């Protein structure tokens, strides 16, 4: 094939990290490098509303080593797009793009996009709308993880139900959806012994130090709250002779957040050495990756959809220590490429997050508070985390074996040229669907489409959901008791009288400390509400209370 069987819609900042460094931009930038590698001297078709983005696309591909030809098509396109058969959009396809295509005829070509963050209003709207006009059954969506696929299906079901209930609708679109992961530039991530030694020297790491790297946005409410990892690293340090070193590499959104990280490290892991790396300084950020022994990302946030950094870690030959959460479930093989730590989130039947979805919809909470409040009711298991840190810190052969397995998988399954071939296969499948539309079905109506309880929508993220018959145990605390955690901005930023009052936390802890309880009896004793359920999960999150079947 001289080029892909689809045109690339080149728009906005989707393929560059110059204006913003997020997973979506990083993935798009790496995709363009993959295009240049896969079809180095081929013919690439671009698609857009004006000539300027076409010129930018050509420059970027040339900078990535592309020596072929870029053909630019103007929206809504011409006969060449029909001959190609499909257009790729770097997010879920927009209404405007589908409307424009349909002016040429809905069967002129297919449109397909890809999931990124799914918890924002815009993302949920775009996924739900795929079930209705102007989209067609031969339009598609690449879901980067199995959990992303489940979220997309729920949102589309809600949209169909709403239309049936309120409009009497009988016909819907069933977009083609396929799980294809994001890719990685595997060759660029490879590490050499000399480069590793150089980077470790630059960071002051000795041969016996074991460096656990977190790389990404340093924002505890919107990515991964590191408090439980800090506690676990402190506990693990007491059990191993090697020095545990934690490298936090990334960019803080503001100084208040940076201060929150630093105070949490000092409070929760005073025995552990921390190295703070500014992710905006390329050389320092690269040193962090090259010097690390283990990559860790304990994501607890519904904004995470795929999780690119664990795959980048595989490509770098690093073992992974991640939460059993969303896309990490697909990429990190337990005991092979690394370890996945069990997670808990409120059961969908509880309805715990119904107020969170509504507060965000009404503008009472901004997006940061929606995802931050949800993360505060998400638990990453403490004891398994400590055990896995100990295993990885004390066993270099284990680290080497897992790193080699991850590297082999990244090259075979996640290198961008491999992923792009899967995109071509999907575009070909859409071409078949254009000639034979799929049948549709409807489901019962729901009261508020696309703004559900986040714990119901993202119910497949955690390992399990606690049951009312689970036994609750209060864990021993030091003389500061609950105040040790209440004083941490990293833990208290979601607290207020409406959603998570301090009084409810204290009441639940007091009741659990006074007598034996199950989750059901404990919540009944303090008065079961959305507030008390979230308060219980907050206490479990920081291992102040534990619950088990």
User: 116 near 148, Cβ under 8 Å?
Assistant: no
Q: Give the mean model confidence (pLDDT) for residues 435-440.
A: 49
Average pLDDT value for residue range 237-261: 97
> Residue 220, exposed/middle/buried by CB under 10 A (0-12, 13-18, 19+)?
buried
> What is residue 497's three-state secondary structure?
coil
Contact 293, 391 (CB under 8 A): no
Instruction: List, for residues 285-294, the tens digit of each pLDDT value.
Output: 999 999 999 9
Structure tokens at 126: 């775009």
What number of other Cβ atoms are within 10 A of residue 305's Cβ? 25
CA separation for the pair 6, 8 (Å, rounded): 7
**Residue 208 backbone phi and psi in degrees, to 5:** -85, -10
Pairing relationship of beta strands 244-250 and 210-215 according to DSSP bridges: parallel
Q: What is the pLDDT of residues 298-340, one digit of tens each?
A: 999 999 999 999 999 999 999 999 999 999 999 999 999 999 9
Of the candidates 261, 248, 273, the one whose C-alpha atom is nearest the C-alpha of residue 393 is: 273
- E strand or H helix that includes residue 71: strand 69-74
Give pLDDT, residue 435. 66
Here the contacts of 236-241 (C-beta below 8 Å, separation 24 or greater) are 236/386, 236/389, 236/390, 236/393, 237/269, 237/271, 237/272, 238/271, 239/386, 239/390, 240/210, 240/390, 240/393, 240/394, 241/208, 241/394
* pLDDT reported for residue 19: 63
pLDDT bin (cut points 50, 70, 90) of residue 445 is very low
Query: Cα–Cα distance between 272 and 246 in angstroms, integer?
Result: 7
* Residue 1 pLDDT grade (very low, low, confident, very high; cuts 50, 70, 90): low
Report domain 186-342+381-409's class.
alpha beta
- Residues 247, 291 contacting (CB under 8 angstroms): yes
Structure tokens at 284: 């320092």
Q: Are strands 43-48 and 69-74 parallel, antiparallel or unpaired?
A: parallel
Element (H, E) at 379: strand 379-380
Asked if residue 442 has pLDDT above 60, the reply is no
Q: What is the largest CA-CA distance in the chain?
A: 75
pLDDT tier at 448, thresholds 50, 70, 90: very low
Give the pLDDT confidence score for residue 88 in this predicted structure.
97
DSSP class of 12? T
Indicate if the pLDDT at residue 444 is higher than 50. no
Cβ-contact 410, 336 below 8 angstroms: no
Give the tens place of pLDDT for each residue, 51-109. 899 999 999 999 999 999 999 988 777 788 888 999 999 999 998 888 888 877 788 89
Least confident of 249-258, 377-386, 436-445, 463-472: 436-445
* Predicted confidence (pLDDT) per residue in 363-387, tens digit: 999 999 999 999 999 999 999 999 9
Q: How far is CA 177 from CA 141, 442, 459, in A?
A: 5, 17, 19
Cα gap 1→134, rounded to integer Å: 32
Rounded Cα gap, residues 173 and 95, in angstroms: 14
In the prediction, which pLDDT does 390 show? Answer: 98
pLDDT over 50 at 443, yes or no: no
Residue 512 has pLDDT above 50, yes or no: yes
Query: 213 and 289 in contact (C-beta within 8 Å)?
Result: yes
What percentage of the chain has pLDDT greater than the value 90? 84
Provide the 3-class DSSP secondary structure of residue 311.
Answer: helix
pTM: 0.86
| Residues whose CB falls within 8 Å of the CB of residue 202, separated by 6 or more in sequence, listed in order | 287, 291
Confidence band for 21, pLDDT divided at 50, 70 and 90: low
């Amino acid at each position: 094939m001289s080029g892909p069987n689809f045109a690339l819609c080149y728009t906005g900042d989707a393929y560059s990290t110059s204006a913003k460094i997020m997973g979506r931009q990083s993935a798009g930038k790496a995709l363009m490098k993959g295009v240049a590698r896969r079809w180095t001297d081929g013919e690439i078709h671009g698609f857009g509303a004006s000539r300027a983005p076409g010129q930018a696309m050509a420059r970027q591909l040339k900078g990535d080593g592309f020596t072929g030809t870029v053909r630019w098509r103007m929206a809504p396109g011409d006969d060449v797009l029909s001959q190609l058969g499909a257009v790729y959009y770097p997010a879920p396809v927009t209404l405007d793009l589908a409307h424009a295509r349909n002016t040429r005829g809905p069967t002129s070509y297919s449109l397909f996009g890809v999931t990124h963050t799914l918890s924002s209003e815009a993302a949920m709207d775009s996924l739900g709308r795929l079930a209705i006009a102007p989209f067609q059954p031969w339009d598609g969506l690449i879901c980067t993880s199995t959990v992303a696929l489940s979220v997309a299906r729920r949102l589309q079901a809600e949209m169909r139900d709403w239309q049936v209930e309120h409009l009497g609708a009988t016909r819907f679109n069933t977009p083609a959806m396929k799980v294809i992961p994001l890719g990685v530039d595997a060759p660029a991530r490879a590490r050499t012994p000399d480069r590793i030694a150089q980077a470790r020297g630059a960071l002051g790491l000795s041969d016996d130090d074991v460096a656990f790297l977190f790389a990404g946005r340093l924002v505890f409410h919107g990515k991964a709250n590191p408090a439980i990892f800090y506690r676990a690293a402190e506990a693990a340090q007491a059990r191993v002779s090697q020095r545990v070193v934690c490298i936090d590499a990334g960019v803080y959104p503001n100084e208040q957040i940076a201060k929150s990280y630093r105070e949490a490290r000092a409070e929760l892991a005073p025995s552990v050495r921390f190295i703070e790396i500014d992710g905006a300084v390329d050389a320092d950020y690269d040193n962090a990756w090259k010097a690390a022994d283990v990559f860790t990302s304990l994501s607890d946030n519904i904004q995470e959809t795929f999780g690119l950094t664990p795959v980048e870690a595989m490509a770098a030959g690093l073992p992974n220590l991640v939460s059993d959460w969303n896309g990490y479930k697909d990429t990190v093989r337990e005991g092979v490429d690394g370890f996945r730590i069990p997670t808990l989130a409120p059961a969908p039947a509880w309805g715990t997050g119904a107020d969170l979805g509504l507060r965000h919809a009404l503008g009472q909470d901004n997006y940061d508070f929606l995802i931050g409040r949800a993360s505060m009711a998400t638990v990453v298991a403490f004891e398994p985390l400590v055990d896995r840190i100990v295993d990885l810190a004390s066993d270099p052969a284990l680290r080497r074996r897992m790193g080699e397995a991850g590297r082999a998988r990244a090259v075979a399954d996640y290198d961008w040229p491999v992923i792009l071939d899967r995109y071509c296969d999907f575009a070909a499948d859409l071409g078949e669907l254009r000639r034979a539309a799929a049948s549709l079905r409807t489901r019962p109506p729901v009261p508020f489409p696309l703004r559900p309880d986040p714990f119901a929508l993202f119910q497949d993220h955690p390992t399990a959901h606690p049951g009312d018959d689970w036994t609750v145990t209060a864990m021993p605390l030091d003389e500061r008791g609950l105040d040790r955690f209440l004083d941490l901005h990293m833990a208290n930023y979601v607290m207020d009288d409406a959603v998570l009052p301090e009084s409810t936390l204290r009441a639940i802890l007091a009741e659990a400390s006074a007598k034996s309880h199950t989750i059901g009896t404990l919540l009944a004793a303090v008065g079961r509400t959305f507030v008390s359920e979230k308060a219980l999960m907050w206490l479990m999150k920081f291992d102040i209370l534990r619950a088990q079947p």
